[in-house]
Structure 1
Amino acid sequence: MSSGDKSIVIVARFLMVLALCWSGFYAVQAEAQSIYYRYPGPDGTVVIDTSVPPDAVPRGYDIIRLDGTVVKTIAPKLSEAERKARELEFGIEEARAAADAKTRKWDESLLLRYSNTQDIDVAKKRALNDIKVRISILKSNLSVIKQQVYSNQAEAAELERRGHKVPSELTDTLASLRRELTTTEQHITARQEELEQVATNYERDKARFADLQEQVELRRHYYAKPKK
């Protein structure tokens, strides 16, 4: 065999070995990319297979590669009781988060509006006085309306006593005055309830502000204390 032929044989063998190596590499890669399923068996053991039996699906499973890396996890299906318990838990967490957010907003508002509890007392007094003035005006209007009702009723009664027909205009006026009387009384009641609610709200703000001040003082003393 000539040297040229030998070279051709060597090259051919080299290419064959290289082809085999690449073929093995791709086979390993393909095998590594294969998908398997890992799920709990009915007896609590862990099963790895190429598919998940229908009866095992509700228990949840992992989609994995041959090297054990997890591609995706399918959570177990919850029972109706578990689902309701989870929804209740989430609802409680959401309500707690909403309450915390509301409290933070309230605290920020108090600290922006007031410097001390005396400021709250002044604001409370001013707000209550404003409501009391409105109640006083409503009561004055109520007194005037009542006098008009009494006057119109007396006029209608006198006409009837004399045997005269009460004019429709007078009847309509009386009906309108009575409606106005009822509305004014309702407004007075609403303002009185508002008076009590506003007083309660300011006292609540005052108590919360005092608590915030106390927390600030405690932090100040803590950070001012020399560290050993």
Structure 2
Amino acid sequence: MKTAFALAMAGVLLTLDAGASTQGWDGRKLYRYTNEHGVQVLDDQVPPRYVAGGYEILTSTGRVLEVVAPELTGEQLAEKERREAREAADLQLLKRYNSVADIESARKRKLAIVQQDMAILRSNIASLNRQIEHEESTAARTQRNGGAVAPELLERIANLRKEVEVVSERLSLREKEAQAINSEFDLAASRYQEIAGK
């Protein structure tokens, strides 16, 4: 019965002006979808198995009220999300900077803070190493004179070495941060030039 109805309606719609106004429309809706054989079907409902393929909602006079797009596959959805994320990132980039020179200026400001911290850490390491050398020199002198090195002195040297390790680790993290900042701003400058060139 649905097939007969669909064929009858398709014949009626072919004779009607698809762009006709909705004046005089009785409020009844029809649905046009494509079945598994690639044939367009007109019906009073869309069977659930065809919903994902998309469909159109029409008036009884053939005017299209709404087009429901097909559902995206996992890959298509992921691509759409990537595209939307890129567009959002591009918009943020254009809002934040007016030129590549602005990007370079921001890079310098951000790097200056990290480099200042790195300089302080290097200075701390040098100072700790001087202290270690001094304490080791004291311990060596004591041993040369035939004395026993005080356990407190050995503990102080061990603690200073641990402190050097901690500060060196912090310095290493800051160096990685500086590299990350450079990479981030390289990408921003490159992308800005691409967008501005369009």
Describe the shift of the 1:150–1:112 C-alpha distance in structure 2 as closer, same or farther (beyond 3 A). Answer: same
- Match among 105, 120, 137 for residue 154 of structure 1: 137
How many residues end up aligned between the 2 structures?
135
Q: Deviations over 1:146-194 (max 9, x none)?
A: 0011111111122222232222221221111101111222222222222
Q: 1:114 to 1:167 in 2, by over 3 A?
A: same
1:204 maps to which residue? 187
Q: What's the TM-score once normalised by structure 1's chain length?
A: 0.52
Q: Which has the higher helix share?
A: 1
Q: What is aligned with 1:169?
A: 152
Q: Structure 1 residue 116 and structure 2 residue 95: aligned?
A: no
TM-score, with normalisation over the residues of structure 2?
0.59
Instruction: Tell me, in whole angstroms, the C-alpha distance in 1 between the residues paired with 2:80 and 2:142.
Output: 69
Q: Identify the structure with bigger relative contact order (alpha carbons < 8 Å, sequence gap 6+).
A: 2
For each residue in 1:193-226, what CA deviation from the matched residue of structure 2 results, as whole angstroms up to 9, or x when unmatched? Answer: 22222112111101111222223xxxxxxxxxxx
What 5-or-longer segments of structure 2 have no aligned partner? 2-42, 51-72
- Aligned CA distance change for structure 1 residues 95 and 70 (closer, same or farther; 3 Å): closer
Measure the CA separation in 2 of the matches of 1:136 and 1:153.
26
Q: Distance in 1 between matches of 2:108 and 2:182?
A: 9
Does the C-alpha gap of structure 1 residues 123 and 154 become closer, same or farther in structure 2, counting only changes over 3 Å? same
Q: What residue number does 2:171 align with?
A: 188
Provide the identity percentage.
24
- What does 1:122-141 correspond to in 2, within 5 Å? 122-141=105-124
Q: Equivalents in 1 of 2:77, 2:139: separation in Å?
A: 64
Shift of 1:99: 2.3
Q: 1:106 — aligned with what?
A: 89
Shift of 1:136: 0.9
Q: Within 2, Cα distance between the matches of 1:156 and 1:106?
A: 60
- Partner Cα distance (1:102, 1:152) in 2: 57
CA RMSD of aligned residues (A): 2.4
